[in-house]
Amino acid sequence: MSDRPIRIVAAAGSVRPGHFTGKALALVAEEVAASDDASIDVVDISGLRLPLPGEEATDDVKALQERFSAATGVVLATPEYHGSYSSVTKLLIDNLGFPSVLSGKPVGLLGVAAGQIGAIKALEHLRSVCSHVGAIVLPGPVSVAGCHKLFDEAGRCIDASTEKRLRGLAANLLDYIRGSICPRVALEEAARSGETQWMKRVTE
Ligand SMILES: Cc1cc2nc3c(=O)[nH]c(=O)nc-3n(C[C@H](O)[C@H](O)[C@H](O)COP(=O)(O)O)c2cc1C
């Protein structure tokens, strides 16, 4: 595990070979990795055996929950399928526990669609579910429209404004964590060490 203080876990809710959601997410991940204080762990859902709700949990589920539990922040990326987020994304969320390990974690959302209106519906539905499970859903989700025209054969983004928005999603999440999550963690640690010293004084 990286010794950088901020740990971002990200997942793309598509298992289609060469999916565009993963191509868009790769830029978010690249931006996180470029920072000095954050590491990125991108979960490849296609490589996991995730049971349907009610089926017996697999070893992959436990490992998946541990990865997300260790996250300071999360990025969930979904394709827009039939006017909503994908069933793969829902299966991921359903396998993150009940109560969910997403609870209390800041989550940035990314939606990717072939259509020109983008992934607005997918993002609205996903925001609602993430809030329901207790995640801190950050404002400013990024919706990518017409995704088939935005990446070259090698998967590189060829649209500067899309790339800027995708990198901005990472920057927003990291800024929120630096401003609101890390100070709290530092304060708790300071309070705990202060408490230890106080106890030492009265027991000596
Ligand atoms: C089952 C299914 C439903 C889809 N429904 C929509 C839709 O409602 N709106 C849209 O813009 N694109 C829709 N698409 C196209 C996806 O947005 C497109 O495949 C895009 O590349 C994002 O998905 P990907 O990450 O799997 O590539 C659909 C694709 C599939 C496979």
Determine the average pLDDT of the residues in 156-183: 96
Q: How far is the CA of 171 from the centre of ligand 1 (A)?
A: 26
> Which atom of ligand 1 has the smallest separation from the CA of 23?
25
- Are 31 and 63 within 8 A, CB to CB? no
Sequence ranges of the domains in the chain: 6-203
Task: Please indicate whether residue 85, judged by its CB atom, sits closer than 6 Å to ligand 1.
Answer: no
Q: Which residue type does 33 have?
A: A
Residue nearest to atom 11 of ligand 1 (CA): 115
CATH classification code of 6-203: 3.40.50.360
Q: How confident is the model at residue 4 (pLDDT cuts 50, 70, 90)?
A: very high
- Among 137, 108, 107, 109, CA closest to 122: 109
What is the tens place of the pLDDT at every residue in 97-156? 999 999 999 999 999 999 999 999 999 999 999 999 999 999 999 999 999 999 999 999
Residue nearest to atom 26 of ligand 1 (CA): 19
pLDDT of residue 204: 57
Distances (CA, A) of 135 to 54, 138, 195: 23, 9, 30
Residue nearest to atom 13 of ligand 1 (CA): 81
Determine the average pLDDT of the residues in 169-177: 98
- Are 194 and 202 within 8 A, CB to CB? no
- Among 47, 138, 118, 53, CA closest to 91: 53
Sign of CA dihedral 179, 10, 28, 81: negative
What is the tens place of the pLDDT at every residue in 9-57? 999 999 999 999 999 999 999 999 999 999 999 999 999 999 999 999 9
Q: How far is the CA of 146 from the centre of ligand 1 (A)?
A: 10
